[in-house]
């Protein structure tokens, strides 16, 4: 039964998906999503079942304020802004809190519980004293389960809580134990059978997130770790940050953990004279994604430490944050390994995967851009350019070594060098010189020249 609709107007697809996921998890309402303000306005005028609107200030075509005014002058339904912008000076919104007592504004990054509370209150304010009132109470309130769409669950490599399929109102069947690996094929079969949701043991899942983040935070406070201990800790932290970011979104908790990881990496590399010690363990078994990001982190630190114009901790932080989030728009290691659109790997991809590769820079940039990270703008710029190449053959813009700024050049060098190390397999340690000579022809020119020299110095 459809208890009503909730409309989410948000241009950023990642954030929109997180908002929709949270609503789907908690309420038995249909959730409609749009990226255009014009479409949002026609929906609010035509959809008789619409109950609540959620919007950003910035939409694809017109501003969220316009959608808000159209709603106020139509049915004046509860309206929730989720945005990082300050709304205090916006004249169209001067009576926002008085127009409807259930209007609300949440700052990005927003708090999950606060968001659910605001929406529940708004839905209850429309009470019709029928069965839909029950649906306005968050499902997780009093429930043991956290509902998640299968397609989002598939972003996990491991189950972090017991996982169930719902058979009826009070019957759930366990399909996966906590800590078991997620067999993607099995869950894809459920999808093709029309099953949409899985249910996680809510307590276990929340405990898992909290415990993992807190434990890693504590560990990252440790100084003077042996290089192998530091590498394991960095890999583990990266896995946590990236898996959560890719499945349930970039939450505040995750930004805090990424910051802590960044600080620890910078500190570790500064204290250790030999950067080479950090390049060998490419056989952690954790896969390309985490090993590659981790290597990029070490290499950018090495470059920054040997290049006076980049040698501040702030520069290191920007480069590492870019490395953490640049590829979170890609679902598979295989796609992350593609460096050039001229490569056989890229050419062999089906059209929709080519599109993912072409667009993943925007996805990564948006994920960080929508947080309150103080360096978000510059990190976004690095992420957007991370597949440019010094010879102009990169994407999306085909910039040349003169057009790519120094900071991006340092990042691109580290990103592609790390790729070469991992693709070279276990022997790569002794092949560092070979990688330098293979890359030297194009990477020792223009704005790449000084980062290239700095990396050579760092790996002497």
Query: What residues make contact with Fe ion under the rule CB under 5 A?
Result: 327
Residue 352: CB minimum distance to Fe ion, A: 17
CA–CA dist 321, 333 (Å, integer): 19
CA–CA dist 388, 397 (Å, integer): 7
Q: Which CB, 327 or 380, lies closer to Fe ion?
A: 327
Cα R_g (the chain), whole angstroms: 24
CA–CA dist 50, 92 (Å, integer): 23
Q: Which CB, 201 or 327, lies closer to Fe ion?
A: 327
Residue 230: CB minimum distance to Fe ion, A: 25
Residues near 254 by beta carbon (within 8 Å), at least 6 away in sequence: 213, 240, 241, 244, 245
Q: Which CB, 9 or 329, lies closer to Fe ion?
A: 329
Q: Which CB, 147 or 387, lies closer to Fe ion?
A: 387
In whole angstroms, how far apart are CA 172 and each of 166, 190, 331?
4, 15, 29
Number of other residues whose CB lies within 10 A of the CB of residue 276 = 16
Residue 320: CB minimum distance to Fe ion, A: 15
CA–CA dist 268, 141 (Å, integer): 43
Residue 387: CB minimum distance to Fe ion, A: 6
In whole angstroms, how far apart are CA 129 and each of 28, 102, 126, 139, 363?
16, 18, 9, 18, 42
| CA angle, residues 419, 286, 243, in degrees to nearest 5 | 95
Residue 357: CB minimum distance to Fe ion, A: 8
Residue 336: CB minimum distance to Fe ion, A: 6
Residue 191: CB minimum distance to Fe ion, A: 27
Phi and psi based region of residue 225 (left: phi greater than 0; alpha: psi -120 to 50; beta: remaining): beta
Give the residue at shortest CB distance from Fe ion.
Answer: 327
CA–CA dist 210, 123 (Å, integer): 29
Q: Which CB, 56 or 327, lies closer to Fe ion?
A: 327
CB 10 within 8 A of CB 35: yes
Residue 327: CB minimum distance to Fe ion, A: 4
Q: Which CB, 17 or 327, lies closer to Fe ion?
A: 327
Q: Which CB, 7 or 295, lies closer to Fe ion?
A: 295
In whole angstroms, how far apart are CA 10 and each of 26, 37, 410?
19, 9, 33
Residue 15: CB minimum distance to Fe ion, A: 20
Any idea which residue has 């953490």 for tokens?
324
Q: Which CB, 51 or 360, lies closer to Fe ion?
A: 360
Q: Which CB, 236 or 327, lies closer to Fe ion?
A: 327
Residue 372: CB minimum distance to Fe ion, A: 24
CA–CA dist 24, 353 (Å, integer): 27
Q: Which CB, 82 or 326, lies closer to Fe ion?
A: 326
- Characterize 397-434 residue by residue with b for buried, 16 or more Cβ atoms within 10 angstroms of its Cβ, and e for exposed: eebbbeebebbbbbbbbbbbbbbbbbebeeebeeebee
If you count DSSP H runs as helices and E runs as strands, how many of each does the chain have, helices first? 20, 9
Residue 314, CA atoms < 13 Å, CB-side half-sphere: 7
């Amino acid at each position: 039964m459809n208890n009503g609709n909730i409309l989410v107007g948000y241009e950023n697809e990642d954030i929109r998906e997180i908002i929709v996921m949270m609503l789907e998890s908690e309420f038995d309402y249909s959730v409609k999503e749009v990226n255009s303000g014009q479409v949002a306005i026609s929906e609010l005028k035509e959809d008789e079942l619409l109950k609540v609107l959620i919007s950003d200030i910035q939409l694809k075509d017109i501003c969220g304020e316009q959608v808000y005014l159209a709603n106020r002058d139509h049915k004046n339904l509860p309206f929730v802004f989720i945005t990082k912008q300050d709304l205090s000076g916006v004249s169209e919104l001067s009576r926002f809190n008085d127009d409807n007592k259930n209007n609300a504004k949440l700052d990005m990054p927003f708090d999950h519980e606060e968001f659910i509370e605001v929406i529940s209150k708004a839905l209850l304010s429309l009470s019709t004293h029928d069965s839909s009132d029950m649906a306005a109470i968050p499902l997780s309130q009093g429930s043991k389960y956290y509902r998640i769409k299968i397609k989002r669950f598939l972003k996990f490599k491991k189950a972090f809580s017991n996982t169930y399929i719902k058979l009826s109102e009070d019957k759930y069947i366990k399909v996966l134990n906590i800590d078991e690996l997620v067999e993607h094929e099995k869950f894809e079969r459920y999808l093709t059978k029309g099953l949409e949701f899985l249910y996680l043991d809510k307590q276990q899942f929340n405990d898992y997130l909290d415990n993992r983040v807190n434990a890693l935070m504590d560990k990252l406070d440790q100084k003077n770790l042996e290089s192998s201990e530091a590498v394991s800790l960095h890999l583990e932290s990266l896995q946590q940050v990236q898996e959560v970011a890719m499945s349930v979104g970039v939450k505040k908790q995750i930004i805090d953990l990424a910051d802590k990881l960044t600080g620890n990496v910078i500190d570790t590399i500064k204290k250790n004279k030999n950067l080479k010690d950090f390049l060998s363990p490419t056989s952690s078994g954790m896969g390309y994604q985490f090993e590659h990001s981790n290597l990029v982190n070490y290499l950018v630190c090495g470059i920054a430490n040997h290049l006076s114009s980049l040698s501040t901790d702030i520069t290191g932080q920007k480069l590492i944050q870019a490395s953490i989030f640049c590829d979170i728009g890609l679902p598979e290691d295989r796609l992350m390994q593609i460096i050039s659109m001229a490569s056989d790997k890229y050419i062999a991809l089906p059209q929709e995967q080519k599109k993912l590769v072409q667009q993943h820079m925007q996805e990564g940039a948006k994920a960080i851009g929508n947080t309150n990270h103080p360096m978000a703008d510059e990190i976004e710029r690095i992420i957007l350019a991370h597949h440019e190449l010094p010879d102009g053959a990169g994407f999306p813009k085909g910039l040349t070594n003169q057009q790519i700024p120094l900071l991006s050049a340092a990042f691109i060098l580290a990103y592609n060098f790390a790729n070469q190390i991992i693709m070279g397999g276990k022997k790569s340690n002794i092949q560092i010189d070979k990688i330098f000579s293979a890359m030297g022809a194009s990477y020792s020119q223009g704005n790449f020249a000084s980062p290239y020299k700095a990396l050579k110095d760092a790996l002497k």
